């Protein structure tokens, strides 16, 4: 099996989401290379609407593949400020570029301290590789 891509500059959840800080109170979220490899060919992605509130640990959407339908879990409680509209026409971007064009949502929290605290609870690349068996 080829080694899966787990960029060291990102943070991860045990539910196989990656998180990238994009500003003082904002993050970009997607699913990991490991997750997309387990799903198989992605055929549909359901994402929340902009301005929708999401709750840490609860489903914020779904990824449907030729094998299964999997929930996407919110890595932190926040407001959706963007959803990747490119996935409507090209859901396969989740497979081909999970850390680039295949991102899912951008989230915003109320303040920087809240985001710092949430990110401190997440896994670094090494810890995520241990969790995912990589």
CATH architecture assignment, domain 11-125: Beta Barrel (2.40)
Q: Is 7 a residue whose pLDDT tops 70?
A: yes
Per the CB < 8 A criterion, the answer to whether 132 and 33 are in contact is no
Question: Over the stretch 13-34, which tens digit does the pLDDT of each residue have?
Answer: 999 999 999 999 999 999 999 9
Q: Is 1 a residue whose pLDDT tops 50?
A: no
Which of the residue ranges 14-18, 56-60, 116-120, 130-134 would you say has the lowest mean pLDDT? 130-134
DSSP code string of the chain: -PPPP--TTSEE-TTSEEEEE-SSSEEEEEE-HHHHHHH-SEEEEE-PPTT-EE-TTSEEEEEEESS-EEEEE-SSSEEEEEE-THHHH-TTHHHH-TTTTT--EEEE-S-HHHHHHHHHTSB-HHHHHHHHT-
Residues for the chain: how many in total? 134
Read off the pTM.
0.95
Question: Over the stretch 77-104, which tens digit does the pLDDT of each residue have?
Answer: 999 999 999 999 999 999 999 999 999 9
Q: Where are the domains of the chain?
A: 11-125
């Amino acid at each position: 099996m080829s080694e899966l891509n787990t960029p060291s500059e990102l943070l991860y959840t045990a539910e196989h989401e990656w998180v990238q800080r994009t500003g003082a109170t904002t993050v970009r979220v997607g699913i990991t290379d490991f997750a997309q490899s387990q799903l198989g060919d992605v055929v549909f992605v359901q994402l929340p609407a902009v301005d929708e509130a999401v709750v840490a640990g609860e489903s914020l959407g779904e990824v449907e593949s030729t094998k299964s339908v999997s929930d996407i879990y919110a890595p932190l409680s926040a407001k959706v400020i963007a959803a990747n509209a490119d996935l409507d026409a090209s859901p396969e971007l989740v497979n081909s570029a999970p850390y680039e064009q295949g991102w899912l949502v951008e989230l915003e929290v109320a303040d920087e301290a809240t985001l710092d605290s949430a990110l401190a609870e997440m896994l670094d690349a090494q810890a995520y590789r241990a969790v995912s068996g990589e």
